[in-house]
Amino acid sequence: MLLAIGGSTNAIIHLTAIAGRAGVAISLDRLNAISDETPVLVDLKPSGDFYMEDFFNAGGLGAVLAELRPQLHESCLTVTGETLGARLDAAPRYVDRGVIRPRSEPILAVGGLVALFGTLAPDGAILKRSAADARLFETEAEAVVFDSLEDLSARVDDPDLPVTPESILVLKNAGPKGGPGMPEAGYLPIPQKLARAGVKDMVRISDARMSGTAFGTIVLHVTPEAAVGGPLALVATGDRIKLSVKERKLDLLVGETELARRRATWKPVDVPARGYRKLYMDHVLQADHGCDFDFLRSRG
């Protein structure tokens, strides 16, 4: 359902955390497999033109589930005590095909989300491709790096920032531990001098989250995050990064010798000696495990 409506990247974290407490692993490779066979069927912002209220009035979740029926386990019990198949059989439903497309006429042939892996995101990153500019899906360019949210705020609109429309903006230290709390800060703004020149989108990469209402070619949840020493921590302005949605790849094109030199001078974030902040920093998990506390996950 998430993939078919072009839903939020945040939902991947939530689903992973919920499943983790039940002892069920969520695989980003499996996400890609499902995404490749699940079309976007709902013309819903930011992937389309309509709002959630329009989606509800057009037939809502039931109408989409009916289109996805070949992919569903119909024997699953619902909260009513009936099976999913029985619920779908229960009654004819109104569907506005201007908002909810039939499977034979999708908005996009593939799902709204895709996971990326590579030397910059060994454990994965997420792109909402249904809300991105497909012309940027195969990109190799130089990075413009911001080390923190404060650094981003201070420099992104500097007229002297060495940025072009082809640059890749990179934000570090906005993940679960670096944020802390993984704020919805991944929607990096277009630098003012580019926006004034008419630039509407560019590749942006971070270990942060993003609101489901945002549009852009924005790679989120880079894991491991910068604050724990993931490759993102070592990226410098001028480095070349390669994004390939086709190959599900996100690579930092810097040699191992240079990365080793940088790693030797990298310093982890400070952890308080006591209190809730120490508990949080010691036990919060990375995005690929739902940003949950490790002691709340099922050990079964």
Closest CA to 35 of 127, 122, 121: 127
Please give the pLDDT value at position 179: 85
Report CA-CA distances (Å) from 263 to 196, 236, 246, 251, 274.
Answer: 37, 12, 30, 17, 28
Closest CA to 186 of 13, 5, 4: 13
Quick: pLDDT tens for 275-295. 999 999 999 999 999 999 999
Please give the pLDDT value at position 212: 83
Calpha distance 289→81 (Å, rounded):
30
Please give the pLDDT value at position 300: 67
Quick: pLDDT tens for 156-181. 999 999 999 999 999 999 999 998 89
Mean pLDDT of the chain: 95
Whether the bond between 191 and the residue before it is cis, its omega within 30 degrees of 0, is: no
Structure confidence at residue 92 as a pLDDT band (50, 70, 90):
confident
Residues with a catalytic annotation lie at 211
Residue linked to tokens 């993931």: 230
Calpha distance 163→194 (Å, rounded):
8
pTM of the predicted protein model: 0.94
Please give the pLDDT value at position 8: 93
Please give the pLDDT value at position 176: 97
19 near 26, Cβ under 8 Å? yes
78 near 90, Cβ under 8 Å? no
Please give the pLDDT value at position 130: 93
Quick: pLDDT tens for 2-22. 999 999 999 999 999 999 999
Asked if residue 269 has pLDDT above 90, the reply is: no
DSSP 65: H
